[in-house]
Amino acid sequence: MPLVSVVLTSYNHARYLRQAIESVLAQTLQDVEIVVVDDASTDDSPQTLRAFTDRVHLVQHTQNRGTYACLNEGIALSRAPQIAILNSDDVWLPSKLEKQVALMEQDHRIGLVHTGFRFIDAEGQPLSGNPLGVRFHPNPQGDLLPELLTRNLFITSSVMFRRDCIERCGKFEESLFGMGDWDMWLRIAQHYRVGYVPEPLTLYRIHGQNTMHQRQRMLEDDLWIHEERIRKRIPELLRLDGWRVRRAVGIALAALGVLYLHKGESAKAREALRESLRHYPLRMKTWVRWLQVRFR
């Protein structure tokens, strides 16, 4: 049995696919299997993948099923106790898997390990600044459930997690379009600690086809997670970690209010903001937003 299963999902990324797979084959940790699920690509991806049929377990769909259905299928076909996800437009540096496995073996309370990352452009050149415009946690390890309740903390291609996490927390939510990773990390963090390798061993590629550019569909995912994974589970969450979780729940409900404002649903926005203030009344920004929408 291999030590790590790499699950790579791909859709119309022929331009980047070879480099992604070669970055797995170049890992210093060689006890690895690679499962590639091509989600009915219409570009040259099938031809590119044929060059690797002796090194990967390849599944090619005839109909597009979506990222998280492909991930679930790839995980079901894999065998190793550790699972690492690689998006087909991203790249790993050679020591990534070796250092993640070493950290997991040091502490069996850790269910998920991620690494630092760098941004690259479509040509593979480094990008400076923060092109995603997202804040990242300064010390992303330990008990991260409160922080994950307020935002996603990890680049998906940087993550390795134990197979036990899937067995305990369930599969990826296939109805989601682009935030199913955040949904999964939330569930894992409820039961496990998070480890971090503070080196930029993952290269995250920014190009015009990134999922993050599908704003409306991402908004719907965001709304679903806030309602289904956070709001409906508040009593369960509050039993876990008192004040830190209560503060995070308050911030998450304020974010839900903003999401409803974007949808033009003022009454739902007011209720979410009011509920936010019940849990965390010390946040001035939430008071300002609630006053702004109170009489809409």
Q: Are residues 198 and 250 in the same domain?
A: no
**What single string gives the DSSP state of each residue in 9-74?**
EESS-HHHHHHHHHHHHT-S---EEEEEEE----SSHHHHHHTTTTTSEEEE-SS---HHHHHHHH
Number of domains in the chain: 2
Q: Are residues 52 and 135 in the same domain?
A: yes
Are 286 and 254 contacting, i.e. CB atoms less than 8 angstroms apart?
Answer: yes
d(CA 128, CA 121): 10
Are 72 and 171 contacting, i.e. CB atoms less than 8 angstroms apart?
Answer: yes
Q: What is the mean pLDDT of the chain?
A: 94
pLDDT of residue 251: 98
- Tokens for 89, please give them: 């437009």
Q: Tally the C-alpha atoms within 13 A of residue 162's C-alpha that lie toward its C-beta.
A: 22
In the DSSP assignment, the letter for residue 76 is H
Q: Are residues 74 and 97 in the same domain?
A: yes
pLDDT of residue 215: 83
Q: Are residues 151 and 251 in the same domain?
A: no
d(CA 146, CA 34): 33
pLDDT of residue 132: 78
pLDDT digits (tens, 9 = 90+) for 21-61: 999 999 999 999 999 999 999 999 999 999 999 999 999 99
- Tokens for 22, please give them: 């070669």
Domain boundary among 213, 231, 258: 213
Amino acid code (one letter) for 38: D
Residues of the chain with pLDDT under 50: none
Q: Are residues 163 and 268 in the same domain?
A: no
pLDDT of residue 240: 83
d(CA 197, CA 102): 10
d(CA 8, CA 25): 13
In the DSSP assignment, the letter for residue 206 is P
Domain boundary among 213, 231, 264: 213
Structural domain span for residue 130? 4-213
For residue 84, how far is the Cα from the chain centroid? 12
| Through-space distance between the first and last CA atoms of the chain, rounded to whole angstroms | 60
Q: Where are the beta strands (DSSP E) in 97-239?
A: 110-120, 160-162, 193-205
CA-based nearest residue to 291, from 273, 268, 275? 273
pLDDT of residue 209: 61
d(CA 77, CA 58): 10
Domain boundary among 152, 181, 213: 213
Q: Are residues 194 and 272 in the same domain?
A: no
